[in-house]
């Protein structure tokens, strides 16, 4: 792993590392001009027109909730049906705790490396230039796929609300335009105002859906306590709760615009408590009242009236979550192009032109992917397995191992901290297991769907 850290913190203050710290500081004088290695992403902003570091931790939590809870919650009841309610709830709770741990590892890494703006920058520190390109490209790819997934969810919601009276392709187009419009604010603090409505939207929709399931039960009580199934089916179902927590890919970007980055863990705790509590309650109650065969998204299993109400309430969240995904992907490219230039902080023609182009391009690609690729849902699963498994889980352990090695005395420093060393190694291995298992299950399911003729043609009305 390549080390290009230019700001040793308390880690480097230990007596055993004074020589290494001095060498790193000397190296910083050479490498400081390299993109990705500045001391802070946006620097001093007092005299700038556009100020990025204005996001309070409360709105950071709202942004996290809006992006993560969205589609993840609606697929969890079907996961309980696939593996059984007991193992399903255990997995959801465990992954919530695990995601909190990996969030802490990432936040600590970001605080030690304020020059890191995204996973690409983190990849540069760990693996050098190749790591930056791979992890940066993966972030953009995953963001576009996630936005496409939101577009399809919005298309479905509008179709349900209209009783299918219009072409679904038109609904996807309308929804994409709404996502694009909401993506334009240059700062996350401005976007967070919209996200507040999005967070309230999905939480309200979940509560109403639970009430609707209880008011009009389908097959109440007909549930599975634990279900035996083959590895592929079980793992494919488990990927729903795994990726229901897959929002860590944008944490670095969010923290970079926080007013007080040291408060980031408060936002992460708020996210995980809200998400895990809502996931468990929603999944259990919905599954109990709907029974076996609950659909994904679960709103489709409700009575027509309650389904329409729930989908209608969820639409603001679907729009804002999609716009947040594209915004962060565009911000990654924008900062990469203009870091340390006046186009970042000033209302220049070049800056706004490039920003507009990035937003429009991201939304157009997401729309084309969503409605023009018959295997898009499987493509989302592949992207999640390849990248989200590492961004949310595996790389977090690598971050701790990297900084402990370089600032705590090499391998000896890691072995001295046995619990954290073992936990970090297991985290890396967990990321690899989720990646490989998710890829296998997704590709296997894609092959089965193709052989059964279940793949729809592109641009279907």
Please provide the average confidence, as pLDDT, over all residues in the chain. Answer: 85
Q: Is the pLDDT of residue 15 over 50?
A: no
| pLDDT attached to residue 29 | 30
Cβ within 8 Å of residue 406, ≥6 positions away: 3, 5, 20
What percent of the chain clears pLDDT 90, i.e. is strictly above it?
A: 59
Structural domain harbouring 62: 48-383
Cα angle vertex 160, ends 301, 197, to 5°? 95
Q: Is the pLDDT of residue 178 over 90?
A: yes
**Main-chain dihedrals φ then ψ at residue 5, nearest 5 degrees:** -80, 135
| pLDDT attached to residue 42 | 87
Helices and strands in the chain: count of H runs, count of E runs: 18, 0
Which of 15-24, 177-186, 352-361, 379-388 shows the lowest per-residue confidence on average (mean pLDDT)? Answer: 15-24
Please give the structure tokens belonging to residue 28: 């910083």
Q: Is the pLDDT of residue 22 over 60?
A: no
State how far Cα 325 lies from the chain centre.
8
| pLDDT attached to residue 449 | 82
Tell me the per-residue pLDDT of 62-113, one tens digit each, with 9 for 90 and over: 999 998 887 678 889 988 988 899 999 998 999 999 999 999 999 999 999 9
Q: Where are the alpha helices (DSSP H) in 373-417?
A: 376-383, 389, 395-407, 410-416
The span from the CA of 11 to the CA of 20, in Å, is: 11
Total-model pTM: 0.85
| pLDDT attached to residue 71 | 66
**Domain-embedded: residue 38:** no
Q: Is the pLDDT of residue 126 over 70?
A: yes
**Domain-embedded: residue 42:** no
Tell me how crowded residue 230 is: count the other CB atoms within 10 A of its CB.
Answer: 9
Tell me the per-residue pLDDT of 344-354, one tens digit each, with 9 for 90 and over: 999 999 999 99
**Domain-embedded: residue 413:** no
**Domain-embedded: residue 345:** yes
How many domains, in total, are found in the chain? Answer: 1
Please give the structure tokens belonging to residue 303: 């009575």
**Domain-embedded: residue 240:** yes
- Helix pair angle (376-383, 349-372), 10° resolution: 120
Mean pLDDT computed over 235-249: 77
The span from the CA of 200 to the CA of 65, in Å, is: 9
**Main-chain dihedrals φ then ψ at residue 418, nearest 5 degrees:** -60, -45
**Domain-embedded: residue 217:** yes
CATH of residue 67's domain is: 1.10.4160.10
13 vs 263, more confident? 263
Q: Is the pLDDT of residue 252 over 70?
A: yes
| pLDDT attached to residue 21 | 38
349 SS3 class: helix
| pLDDT attached to residue 31 | 33
Mean pLDDT computed over 122-130: 95
Choose among 386, 398, 381: nearest CA to 441. 381
94 vs 237, more confident? 94
The span from the CA of 461 to the CA of 458, in Å, is: 9
**Largest CA-CA distance found in the chain, in angstroms, rounded:** 72
**Domain-embedded: residue 53:** yes
Tell me the per-residue pLDDT of 277-331, one tens digit each, with 9 for 90 and over: 999 999 999 999 999 889 888 999 999 999 999 999 999 999 999 999 999 999 9
Tell me how crowded residue 1 is: count the other CB atoms within 10 A of its CB.
Answer: 12
**Domain-embedded: residue 186:** yes
Q: How far are the Cα atoms of 163, 244, 283, 300, 380 from residue 234, in angstroms, in the given order?
A: 33, 16, 17, 22, 18
Assess contact for 64 and 268: CB atoms under 8 A: yes
The span from the CA of 42 to the CA of 186, in Å, is: 13
């Amino acid at each position: 792993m390549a080390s290009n850290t230019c700001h040793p913190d308390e880690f480097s203050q230990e007596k055993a590392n004074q020589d290494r710290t001095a060498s790193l500081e000397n190296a910083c004088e050479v490498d400081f001009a390299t993109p990705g290695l500045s001391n802070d992403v946006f620097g001093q902003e007092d005299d700038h027109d556009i100020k990025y570091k204005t996001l309070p931790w409360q709105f950071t939590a709202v942004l996290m909730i809006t992006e993560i809870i969205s589609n993840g919650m609606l697929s969890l009841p079907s996961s309980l049906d696939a593996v059984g309610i007991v193992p399903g709830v255990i997995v959801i709770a465990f992954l919530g705790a695990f995601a909190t741990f990996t969030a802490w590892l990432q936040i600590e890494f970001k605080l030690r490396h304020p020059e890191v703006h995204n996973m690409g920058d983190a990849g540069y520190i760990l693996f050098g230039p190749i790591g930056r390109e791979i992890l940066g490209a993966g972030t953009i790819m995953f963001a576009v796929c996630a936005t496409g997934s939101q577009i399809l969810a919005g298309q479905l919601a509008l179709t349900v609300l209209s009783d299918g009276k219009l072409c679904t392709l038109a609904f996807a187009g309308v929804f994409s335009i709404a996502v694009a419009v909401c993506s334009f604010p240059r700062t996350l603090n401005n976007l967070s105002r919209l996200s507040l409505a999005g967070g309230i939207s999905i939480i309200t929709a979940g509560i109403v859906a639970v009430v609707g399931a209880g008011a009009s039960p389908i097959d109440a009580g007909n549930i599975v306590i634990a279900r035996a199934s083959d590895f592929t089916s079980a793992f494919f179902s488990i990927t729903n709760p795994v990726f229901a927590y897959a929002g860590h890919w944008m944490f670095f970007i969010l923290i970079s615009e926080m007013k007080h980055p040291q408060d980031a863990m408060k936002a992460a705790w708020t996210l995980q408590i809200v998400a895990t509590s809502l996931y468990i309650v929603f999944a259990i109650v919905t599954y109990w009242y709907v029974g076996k065969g609950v659909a994904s998204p679960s709103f489709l299993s409700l009575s027509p009236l309650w389904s329409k109400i729930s989908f209608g309430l969820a639409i603001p969240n679907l729009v804002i979550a999609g716009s947040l995904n594209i915004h962060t992907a565009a911000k990654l490219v924008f900062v990469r192009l203009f870091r340390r230039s006046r186009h970042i902080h000033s209302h220049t023609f070049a800056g706004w032109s490039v920003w507009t182009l990035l937003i429009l391009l991201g939304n157009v690609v997401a729309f084309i992917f969503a409605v023009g690729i018959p295997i898009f849902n499987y493509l989302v699963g592949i992207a999640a397995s390849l990248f989200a498994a590492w961004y949310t889980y595996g790389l977090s352990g690598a971050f701790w191992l990297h900084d402990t090695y370089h600032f705590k005395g090499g391998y000896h420093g890691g072995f001295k901290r046995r619990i954290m060393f073992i936990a970090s190694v297991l985290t890396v291995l967990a990321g690899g297991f989720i990646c490989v298992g998710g890829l296998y299950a997704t590709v296997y399911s894609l092959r089965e769907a193709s052989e059964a003729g279940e793949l729809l043609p592109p641009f279907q009305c």
